[in-house]
Structure 1
Amino acid sequence: MIKVSILYPYRENGRFDTGYYCTHHMPLAANLFGSALKGWSVDIGINAGPPGTPPPYVAAGHFLFETMDAFYAAFQPHAGTLIDDIPNYTDGGNGTILVSEVKVSV
């Protein structure tokens, strides 16, 4: 199982609409990815550990797929649609992508 994470760095005075991201963008992606997608989630940053510190990331979206090939096959036909939607929830660009192998799941 692989996880594709899109990490959105915290920026002071940056715009990130978590409501839109959680209720529109991520469900749109999930719908477009179809049955290849095995699950998805969103993390909203709170702080960097000590109280009152800004989080390193304002949000992170996560998608689970069986394989890298399954991810690429699901993503590539819809890349334009998803990229075009980014300005609807942030002025901070595309985010940083991390692809990881899931070793333990509970």
Structure 2
Amino acid sequence: MIKVSVLYPSKPGSRFDVDYYLTVHMPMSARLLGTAVKEISIEIGIAGSAPNQPAPYAAIVGFTCDSVDAFTAAFTPVAGQLQGDIPNYTDIEPVIQISEIRQIS
């Protein structure tokens, strides 16, 4: 299993519309990516590690899939539509990371 993480680093003066992201963009993402995505996790940053410190990320989303190939096959045909929606909710350039999921027993 792999996880494709999309991280939106917080920056002073940046814009991130959580309501649009949760009610429009993410449902559209789930629908367009379909069964290739086994699980979606969404994290909205609320604080950093110290009291009164801002969160380092406005949001982090994780798409869990069987393989990189499965995600790529689902994402490639709809990439333009998903990426084209980004300006509707943020001016932050997302950072992408693909990770192998490991379990600790």
Compute the TM-score of the two structures, normalised by the length of structure 2.
Answer: 0.94
SS at match of 1:58: strand
Task: Give the gaps of 5 or more residues in structure 1.
Answer: none
| Residue 97 of structure 2 corresponds to residue 98 of structure 1 | yes
Q: Which residue of 1 aligns with 2:75?
A: 75
CA distance in 1, matches of 2:28, 2:84: 12
- The number of residues matched between the two structures is 104
CA-to-aligned-CA distance 1:43-87 (integer Å, 9 cap, x gap) = 011222111101111101111100000000000000000010000
Task: Give the gaps of 5 or more residues in structure 2.
Answer: none
CA distance in 1, matches of 2:101, 2:53: 29
Is contact 1:26–1:61 with CA below 8 Å preserved after alignment?
no
Compute the TM-score of the two structures, normalised by the length of structure 1.
Answer: 0.93
Is contact 1:4–1:98 with CA below 8 Å preserved after alignment?
yes
CA-to-aligned-CA distance 1:31-52 (integer Å, 9 cap, x gap) = 0111111010110112221111
Code of the residue aligned with 2:61 in structure 1: it is G
Is contact 1:16–1:91 with CA below 8 Å preserved after alignment?
yes
1:86–1:103 Cα change, 3 Å: same
| Residue 87 of structure 2 corresponds to residue 87 of structure 1 | yes
CA distance in 2, matches of 1:76, 1:82: 10
Q: Residue 10 of structure 1: CA displacement?
A: 0.4
Is contact 1:3–1:101 with CA below 8 Å preserved after alignment?
yes
Code of the residue aligned with 2:41 in structure 1: it is S
